[in-house]
Amino acid sequence: MDRFRVLGHRVPSVLAILAFAGAFRLVSAGVAFLLNVAFPDYQREQFTIFGSTSLLWDPFARYDSGWYFQIARFGFHYTPNGRDTIAFFPVYPILMRHVGRLLGPAPSNLYLGGIVVSWLSFALALVGLYRLARRDLSARRALHTIVLATVFPFAYFFGVVYTESTFLAATVWCFYFFRTRRWIAGGVAGAIATATRVNGILMWPALAWLVWRDVWTAGRVGQGGPEGQGGRGGGKPRWERVTSSLGLALVPTGIAAYSWFVFQLTGSPFEWVATVQRWGYHPGGAPWLALWRLVRVLATQPYAYLASGGMAPYDMLNGLAALAFALAAPLVWWRLGASYGLFMVANLWLQLSSGQYEGLGRYCSVLFPFFIWLASVTPRTGFTLVVGLCAMLYVVCLALFVNIHPLF
């Protein structure tokens, strides 16, 4: 078991990571409170946690948080041809509902339950990310991985009433179980991910590649261990082909179960797709066009663009985050393998092909291979500089979100 030295004592890595996760979330919440006190809101609050403004608690719940609250309190609702709650997947609001009810009957406890779910999921995600990074990196660089994921400028979503931390936890543990050949556990974690966010299903090609490489072709190409431990020569591979295929089959059951529920509610299993499109997301276009437009305008007339008002500053922050991940995707593929590369490319394609900048930063925040790759190539001095830059941008983005700027 890896151990870290903390205050002169060697502490198990899990305990140290959990302490780090809790401490960072507390510090981030304190900064959010100060930002809410110091700066005026950009626009009027759409809702509050307790029915009246709370400078301490309301920063945890902005924008989509209200939709998750509605689902947790009243369940899913469908209005034909409307922009309705079925565009949001069920795992997070279900957890939010049950944890909130443990805290008490008041509606505000559902929001508090969402905060508890997000914070616990964040801690679980960091433990899984560290273990997954240790498959490829030293203990020090694996630790760098979780620090980079934590201070990423859009990582404040991991501590608020949003799905990011729950989705990251399910995704990271799914990949960890698949990489350690615990196929059924990986399939269950994958099913949770595909029932948490629509893009969860995009992990399936990456997982299928892992199964193909480590189980089905291991004996022919010499991967996955010696004969009898991943090759074709022993009895284990035949059984492992069954369990790995079952694990793969389990992953889509999350989105399949939700589609079945939507069918019962609306008469169409994919009505959630139509609802997402009514929110303005239409994947299928050329994924490079949005980034090219942003790069061109920032290169030719940056001041005029940013000073024009509207969504320009927020589109810039979202777009530059996506650009960094898009440029890194082939390097992730080359250094860490096709599975991580496929996961990055598939997720970036879905978001960028819609032509929207909105949400790109938080969608990137859960693409964990980027942080493993960045930790693997950043020297010690460079790591300090990257963390410092990310931390500054983290506070900027957190301030915009807390004060209800449209950075979501």
Sequential pLDDT tens for the chain (408 residues): 686 665 555 657 888 999 999 999 999 999 999 999 999 999 999 999 999 999 999 999 999 999 999 999 999 988 888 788 999 999 999 999 999 999 999 999 999 999 999 999 999 999 999 999 999 999 999 999 999 999 999 999 999 999 999 999 999 999 999 999 999 999 999 999 999 999 999 999 999 999 999 998 865 544 443 333 344 444 567 888 999 999 999 999 999 999 999 999 999 999 999 888 888 788 888 899 999 999 999 999 999 999 887 899 999 999 999 999 999 999 999 999 999 999 999 999 999 998 889 999 999 999 999 999 999 999 988 999 999 999 999 999 999 999 999 998
Domain that holds residue 254: 3-283
Q: In this predicted structure, what is the pLDDT of residue 233?
A: 42
- Residue 340 domain-assigned (yes or no): no
Q: Cα separation of 81 and 84, whole Å?
A: 9
Give the contacts of 286 (CB within 8 A, at least 6 positions apart): 353
- Residue 254 domain-assigned (yes or no): yes
- Residue 347 domain-assigned (yes or no): no
The single-letter code of the amino acid at 147 is V
Q: In this predicted structure, what is the pLDDT of residue 335?
A: 96
Other beta carbons within 10 angstroms of residue 6's beta carbon come to: 12
Q: In this predicted structure, what is the pLDDT of residue 219?
A: 53
The encoded tokens of residue 356 equal 């929207």
- Residue 15 domain-assigned (yes or no): yes
The encoded tokens of residue 110 equal 């559902």
Q: Which of 241, 253, 256 is CA-nearest to residue 208? A: 241
- Residue 408 domain-assigned (yes or no): no
pTM of the full predicted structure?
Answer: 0.93
The single-letter code of the amino acid at 47 is F
Q: Cα separation of 271 and 265, whole Å?
A: 9
The encoded tokens of residue 214 equal 């480590």
Q: In this predicted structure, what is the pLDDT of residue 266?
A: 92
Chain center to CA of 224: 28
Looking at the structure of the chain, the number of domains it has is 1
Say if residues 318 and 358 touch (Cβ distance below 8 Å). yes
Q: In this predicted structure, what is the pLDDT of residue 407?
A: 93
- Residue 324 domain-assigned (yes or no): no
- Residue 108 domain-assigned (yes or no): yes
- Residue 119 domain-assigned (yes or no): yes
Q: In this predicted structure, what is the pLDDT of residue 281?
A: 80
The two beta strands, 9-12 and 3-6, are antiparallel
